[in-house]
Amino acid sequence: MWACPHCQLALLPIGTGESLACANRHAFDRAREGYVNLLPANRKRSLEPGDNPLMVAARRRVHEADIYRPLADALVTELAGLSGVSSLLDLGCGEAYYCDALARALPDCTLCGIDISRAAIRLAARRCRSVDFAVASAYRLPLLDEALDAIVRVFAPADDAEIVRALKPGRYYLEVSPAPRHLWQVRALLYDKPREHAPPRMAVPGLRLLGQAGVQYEASPGPELVWDIISMTPFAYRGRPERREYLQRHTPAAVTMAFSLHLYCRDA
């Protein structure tokens, strides 16, 4: 399903599978962890784009505490209920927390994951040996046209046209967005005038909305994990420094976790 990022031809394994190559002889070696780097140097906006190792480590600690487990369970429920899903992409997979849950629930499905952060993909490849991972841009997916039965995207930025291109006709796209009250207690302490998240969108060009669902619950992360939640999100760069320091000393007893799930399909 991978496509060459230079010429868009199919990438196929060479020999024992340690490398991939296209018919134009563009070749890509797999890293020791098993992932492949499909992000050409001339498409990077920085030396190491995406989440840095500190952000990835913070996200991993939060996920290992299972604060996001109800969301992972909701993803599994949504995708396991779809018929004929034999190939699935986790778009912006991070360190593979959701990929891991999906791989366990869908053992007969071919899973792949991409993220622009090499630090995240390294951890992902170590965590889920059964999933094929690549360092890649969500705005130029290294995927063949109409390659996938399903794409799931949790918070990650992406290009709608690329999502439509990579989906088979009639197949599925699951988008997860923060609901308006997500992490409200953290936002209230971090900002002078906190605002709710914008309502999730209800339409994607080229796709048809099949259904929507919400997941909301209260979590009690404690001081250290609250700071990790801040570190793994744009909160780390927002709010006045004194506000961030105040939040470290006055951790909310409970934090609202709220998500919107929208299931679409590509027109046949």
Res 240: pLDDT: 72
100-113 mean pLDDT = 97
d(CA 18, CA 238): 42
**pLDDT tens, 178-197?**
999 999 999 888 888 889 99
Higher pLDDT: 247 or 215? It is 215
Strands annotated E in 1-139? 12-14, 19-21, 27-29, 36-37, 87-91, 110-115, 132-135
Strands annotated E in 116-226? 132-135, 148-154, 167-178, 207-219
Could you count the other beta carbons within 10 Å of the beta carbon of residue 79? 21
* Global confidence as pTM: 0.94
**Does the pLDDT value for residue 4 go beyond 80?**
yes
Identify the weakest region by mean pLDDT among 12-16, 43-47, 91-95: 43-47
Q: Which residue has tokens 């959701």?
A: 98
207-231 mean pLDDT = 93
Helices (H) and strands (E) in the chain, counts: 8, 11
* 246 confidence band (pLDDT: 50, 70, 90): confident
CA angle 7, 4, 114 (to 5 degrees): 140
167: amino acid identity, one letter:
L
**pLDDT tens, 28-68?**
999 999 999 999 987 777 778 889 999 999 999 999 999 99
B/e letters for 51-65, b = 16+ CB within 10 Å, e = fewer, are beeebbbbbbbbbeb
Domains of the chain with CATH codes? 46-266 (3.40.50.150)
